[in-house]
Amino acid sequence: MAEISAKLVKDLRDRTGAGMMDCKKALVETAGDFEKAVDWLRTKGLASAAKKAGRTAAEGLVGVAVNGAKGAVVEINSETDFVAKNAQFQGFVADVAKLALGTGSDVEALLAAAHPAGGSVQDVLTNNIATIGEQQAVRRAEIVEATGVVASYVHNAAAPDMGKIGVLVALDSDGDKSALMALGKQIAMHIAAANPLAIHAEELDADLLARERAIAAEKAAASGKPADIVERMVDGAVKKFAGEVALMSQVFVIDGKSKVADVVAAEAKKLGSDIKVARFVRFQLGEGIEKAATDFAAEVAATAGLA
């Protein structure tokens, strides 16, 4: 069995919100498998499905840029939060976000793009690493386009258009642009807070739903109720989960009572024009990176071409 370290227990607690002893027991029961331990805790009703990873090894900034009906969001990592407050680093994030509007989501193409300061983005990045004295990397980029407007929102902003969470929302509509932008900004704020996984429930990943069904089935089976009732309990649990993580069926965080779909429909009626939430992208700094600082440094060095 894998060693159950104190750090692993803490990471599981950060991820699930469960108690330390419950986290340790979950890891013991699952032979140290982190994801299985998460499911074990949820099966026992000790963790929340909505709880996401807490602290990660990555620091840096997420930057956004919008030009008309096109937007870009980028994540640029550093080793410490101190660098994220550096004016040179922040200027680089702003420049790269704007350049991504032309290069798209291909990070290699973005690194090869000409930087306004001269040389390529990679050249400027390498210089920044040398002058700031800390590893940095352009981790990812994404583009969103619309027939109406693209709205953006940055949470925990360290400077204009950059912070810990960046969101882009594409609204397809021929309605009034200023009204659409206001609606898009509110939806982007909602997405930053609620972290939906898809626009509509039917678009959710099949593997995700299968995992939720397995957890719900195990919990329902423990109730000791007849098979037909257990099946209905499972179906209800999965339907409830899907409604909670799909954007249009979530309760709008701005007013705390309306469904997002109803808010969009009401604005469409007001403008006399159809409105479709065509796409959204939400970048949270460091999501998906949970490893030791030494491993992260190696990853950054490799991305920057220094390893």
Q: Which domains does the chain have, with CATH numbers?
A: 59-192+281-303 (3.30.479.20)
258-268 pLDDT per residue, tens: 999 999 999 99
Residues 6+ apart with CB under 8 A from 232: none
d(CA 143, CA 199): 17
Q: 257: exposed, middle or buried (C-beta count within 10 Å: 0-12, 13-18, 19+)?
A: exposed
Q: Give this prediction's pTM.
A: 0.74
pLDDT beyond 80 at 292: no
Q: Which is more confident, 4 or 184?
A: 184
126-167 pLDDT per residue, tens: 999 888 888 889 999 999 999 999 999 999 899 999 999 999
- Kindly report which listed range (18-27, 75-84, 239-248) carries the lowest average pLDDT score: 18-27
pLDDT beyond 60 at 67: yes
Q: Which pLDDT score, from 0 to 100, does residue 306 have?
A: 44
Nearest to 282 by CA among 204, 194, 158, 202: 194
Q: Which pLDDT score, from 0 to 100, does residue 231 have?
A: 83
Nearest to 285 by CA among 274, 276, 296, 270: 296
41-65 pLDDT per residue, tens: 888 777 754 443 333 336 999 999 9
Arithmetic mean of pLDDT, 204-219: 85
pLDDT beyond 50 at 252: yes
How high is the mean pLDDT of the chain? 86
pLDDT beyond 60 at 273: yes
Q: Which pLDDT score, from 0 to 100, does residue 291 have?
A: 46
